[in-house]
Amino acid sequence: MVAQTARAVAHKRESRLRGVEIEEAIQNLHVVRKFSSDPVSDDDVAAILNAGRRAGSSKNLQRWHFIVVRQRERLTQLAQVGPFAGHLAGGALAIALVTPDPGAADSPMSVMWDLGRAAQNMVLVGVVARPRLRPRHCL
């Protein structure tokens, strides 16, 4: 029914929105670059990764890899790769989203669109569906 407000459907680990409306979640989402170093459980990481994995992709190619980094030394190194990466040093983990070079002859530019969809799914599950992962001032 078109007039009905879309609501999240709970699926095992992938989504635990329980009554949070999708539109409300998107409107109130604040993505920040300051994170706690508190550990993130394996279940939470699995839910975030599964949300990305389940994102649609053009031609269903899913040309991506997700790499979880938890080692403090590696996070500190990654924080120095660019002007907008400094926040990685203080987090409990980072998830690198890796694709083929979109400029390569055999790689369509749509891979960047696909990766954006995967990233948004991961953010929504990690921040909205997992309240303990949410910065205190968000939502």
Q: What angle do CA 80, 83, 25 make, to 5 degrees?
A: 105
pLDDT tens for the chain, residues 1 to 139: 333 333 333 344 445 555 556 777 777 777 777 777 788 889 999 999 999 999 998 888 888 999 999 999 999 999 999 998 998 998 889 999 998 887 887 777 788 889 999 999 998 888 776 666 665 444 3
The per-residue pLDDT for 105 is 75
Read off the pTM: 0.75
Give the residue from 73, 90, 86, 106 showing the smallest Cα distance to 35. Answer: 90
Give the residue from 65, 66, 50, 52 showing the smallest Cα distance to 11. Answer: 50
Show the tokens assigned to 93.
Answer: 């983990």
Q: In Å, what is the CA distance from 75 to each residue of 37, 45, 66, 92, 97?
A: 11, 16, 15, 9, 15
Show the tokens assigned to 11.
Answer: 């699926």
For residues 23 and 128, is the Cβ–Cβ distance under 8 A? no
Taken in order of first residue, the domains within the chain and their CATH numbers are 33-133 (3.40.109.10)
